[in-house]
Structure 1
Amino acid sequence: MSDTLTFLKNFIRSPTQVGAIAPSGRQLVDRMTDWIQWESARNVVEYGPGTGVFTEAIAGRLHPEARFFAIERSPELAATTRQRCPGVTVVEDSASNVQALCRQHDMQNVDAILCGLPWASFPDSLQQEIMDATLAVLRPGGQFVTFAYWQGVILPAGQRFRRRLDQNFSSVQHSPTAWANLPPAFVYRCVR
């Protein structure tokens, strides 16, 4: 089954967990990964790899001494990511459990988190739970990147998420729009 069909099937089954109808395109992948300081990042985590398009790019940029794992709730999407990126550890769990998962992977703190979660689809309680877990593992000065679809920015949950970023990070910027993505999106680039 193609990545697009796998993604669409998971979106239809769980729209609040998948949040998109198609995998991210190359332009958005580049916007997500270009900003990370790969030369110094030794502990890297990905939330919600989906079909592994970001995972593949991350794996290709990691420093040889870096440790990396991805967290995916959907067993089908986790299997797809493992097939695309056989050398990457993909854990079937929730990003809200990142502290315990980091301990299991011998990560004291995390230098970079790349996130493909659909924040604008999440209720306030889940946004807060995942953000608290993220802040518990991301070191001061650590990098957090996530993307947003332009139509989600106007939703109350999208606006709430932006406020949450501003409250919890010393710097929050956004990339130019990836117009070639379906749907168009931009990347929040945050420093703890």
Structure 2
Amino acid sequence: MVNWIDWQNAKGVIEYGPGTGVFTSAILDSLQPNASFFAIERSPELANIVRKRCPQATVYEDTVENVVQLCEREGLQSVDAILCGLPWASFPEPLQEACLDAMMKVLKPGGQFVSFAYWQGLLLPAAHRFRRKLDNYFSDVHQSRTVWANLPPAFVYRCTH
């Protein structure tokens, strides 16, 4: 998830849905000293877990649909990278579009978006819809090899705006 990001040039980074903070720790370790970072987690319980695990991280209890306002609060007009742990395959189409539309307002041209998905999720129509939407929103979309050691098996979408 984090290895693909251009950390040398990433001055603004957001994490969507950090969950328990596994990727948050890796992001914080990868950031340049002058980079800005915050995470958006809807669940208060998970946000508290991330805050305990990564006390130096700013974690907003909010929805990614409000990313424009959160960037303004952080003094960021745009960001270079967004790393995402959201369960896109479980989202209805209007929510997928609202989240993607909001993201495109803050992600710089040339910015990177990375999100993982589970193979079992591909059984859901929303997962196929999300994959098609990626092609509409991004100029470049790649899918990583499957990580079979992950339970359940997963892969990563790597997208460039």
User: Is 1:159 aligned to residue 120 of structure 2?
Assistant: no
Distance in 2 of aligned mates of 1:136 and 1:153: 27
Q: How many angstroms does 1:178 deviate by?
A: 1.3
What CA distance in whole angstroms lies between the structure 1 residues aligned with 2:149 and 2:41? 25
Deviating above 6 A after TM superposition, structure 1's stretches of 4 or more consecutive aligned residues are none
Superimposed CA distance per residue, residues 110-156 of structure 1 (whole angstroms, 9 cap, x where no aligned partner): 10000000000000010000000000100100000001101112311
Query: Tell me, what secondary structure is at the counterpart of 1:65?
Result: coil
Secondary structure, in 3 states, of the residue corresponding to 1:33?
coil
Structure 2 CA distance, aligned partners of 1:180 and 1:48?
A: 22
Give, in angstroms, the shift of residue 179 of structure 1.
1.1
Deviations 1:84-113 (A, max 9, x none): 001000000001100000000011101000
Please show how residues 23-172 of structure 1 align to structure 2 within 5 Å.
32-172=1-141
TM-score normalised to structure 1 length? 0.83
SS of 1:164's equivalent in the other structure is helix
- Which residues of structure 1 form unaligned runs of 5+? 1-31
Report the count of equivalent residues.
161
Distance 2:104 2:148 in 1: 30
Counterpart Cα distance in 1 of 2:159 and 2:88: 15
Q: Counterparts of 2:18 and 2:148 in 1: how far apart (Å)? A: 21
- Please tell me the residue identity of whatever aligns with 1:67: S
- C-alpha distance in structure 2 between counterparts of 1:184 and 1:54, whole Å: 17
TM-score scaled by structure 2? 0.99
List alignment gaps of at least 5 residues for structure 2.
none
Aligned counterparts of 1:165 and 1:153: Cα–Cα separation in 2: 15
> How much has 1:174 moved relative to structure 2?
1.0
Partner of 1:6: none
Report the residue type matching 2:60 in the other structure: V
Task: Quote the RMSD (CA, aligned, Å).
Answer: 0.6
Q: Report what 2:150 is aligned to.
A: 181
Determine what percentage of the aligned residue pairs are the same residue: 64
